[in-house]
Each structure stands twice: as C-alpha cells, then as structure tokens.
Amino acid sequence: MGSYRIRIKQSAQKELESISTKADRRRIVERIQALARNPRPHGCSKLSGRELYRVRQGRYRILYSIQDRELLIHVIRIAHRKSAYR
C-alpha cells in the first residue's frame, strides 16, 4: 500500500498558524505528516456519528477524514482540546 496524500483545509491551516508556540506547531505538522504513512495510528479515535477521526498531539486535536480509495487524508480542524468538537 502506498502512502496517503494530505490535504489541509484552509481554515485548518489558519488554525495551525494561530498556535502560539513554534514547538507545538512543529509537533503538529510532524504528526500530520506521520498520518501519510499510517492514517489510523495507535491512539486515534473515530468520532461517533461522523466519518471523522481524531488524533491527539499534546493539548491539541487534529480532526481528519480518510478516503481510502483515493489514498487521501483531509485535515478538517486543528484546535485546542477544549474547543475542538464545537
């Protein structure tokens, strides 16, 4: 199986840029890049009632969808854990 392509929604890109610390942004980007190799890593959860998955990175949550036929991961949201599911 090949690696997945990653597409980040424009609003998620803005959320990533608004994260205050550079170290947090770097870790989130590394976590997203790791999803290309393994879209369902240990610790990911499927959100109930939606076709979205969630992965944790420190205090932040990355919400994404997986399209297996096209080998595509679409990052929908990057947010602090207290506001990620609103």
What residues contact 67, with CB distance under 8 A and at least 6 apart? 73, 74
Report if pTM > 0.85.
yes
The verdict on domain 5-80 having CATH code 3.30.2310.20 is yes
Q: Report the phi/psi class of residue 10: left, alpha or beta, with left for phi > 0 and alpha for psi in -120 to 50.
A: alpha
**What is the pLDDT, as a whole number, of residue 61?**
96
14-71 pLDDT, tens digit per residue, is 999 999 899 999 999 999 999 999 999 999 999 998 899 999 999 999 999 999 999 9
- Alpha-carbon distances, residue 18 vs 1, 12, 14, 23, 60 (angstroms): 34, 10, 6, 13, 12
